[in-house]
Amino acid sequence: MCTLSWVYHGSNHYEVYFNRDEQRSRLPALEPQRLVIDGIQCVMPIDPVGGGSWISTNEHGVTVCLLNYYQGQTPSGALVSRGMIIKRLANSCSSQTVDSRLLAMDLSAFAPFTVVSFDTRRTANETVLWTWDGHELSRSHACAPIVSAALHFEEARDYRVELFSELMGTLSRDRFGRQFHQTHDDNYPHLSPLMKRNDARTVSFTSVVVSSSKQEMNYQSIDDNRNVDFQTHLSCQRNDVVAQGVFK
């Protein structure tokens, strides 16, 4: 399971939140890295298994997120890691560019996924959800939160949507997103945004803040007791030095 949500504060300020849930047997991710892709400064954590990522942001203020779509049908034949989609889209100058690049891609070697992108040129009501179901790429309106799950999908989606709506109605706009992603319910640990199952758990929380004065990615590695065991943040500016990260 993974969970994505976002909030827009006016026309030039947005925040994106992403809980990454993984099998306990999967190798830990590489903390966010600064990469220059075709001359564009990008920041993203790296999955050491496939070499790709699940979230990126760049110097244009464009953030791209990818979640697995387990309800689709996996194409036959050899597959390319879905995380490489993020690397192909990471240096886009706008969400419209993300759209056009996705439409031009041959997706036949990728397992099903969903992609959502954000920038300051689109409003919250214009956020687009792209879904590759293994046969067809479709476009729809994106509504937060978006949930990805191989098990208990409908239950987890309904639980998290209801919780998101509840918090949105009781907390300020600058608080409910983080509170939502940090929520763990001992009665429903497998459905909570901060998820825990015998075979899988939430391993990291990533947030991106883009505004006229700030452009950064914040990353928290989460241990088996749901505590933050490591955190870092990187800004994404054209003159930032490219840095080599460490495994965590």
pLDDT, tens digit, 9 for 90 and up, residues 19-64:
999 999 888 899 999 999 999 999 999 999 889 999 999 999 999 9
Compute the distance between CA of residue 200 and CA of residue 138 in angstroms, rounded to an integer: 29
Q: Indicate the pTM of the whole model.
A: 0.93
Number of folded domains in the chain? Answer: 1
Is residue 242 in some structural domain?
A: no
Q: Is residue 247 scored above 80 in pLDDT?
A: no
pLDDT at 238: 61
Is residue 241 in some structural domain?
A: no
157: closest CA among 186, 195, 126? 195
State the DSSP string of 192-219.
SSS-B-SSEEEEEEEEEEESSS-EEEEE
The secondary structure element, H or E, covering residue 229 is strand 228-235
Is residue 183 in some structural domain?
A: yes
Domain that holds residue 124: 2-235
* DSSP E strands, 49-195: 55-58, 63-68, 113-118, 128-132, 137-141, 146-148
Q: Is residue 245 scored above 50 in pLDDT?
A: no
Q: First and final CA of the chain: distance in angstroms?
A: 20
CATH number at residue 133: 3.60.60.10
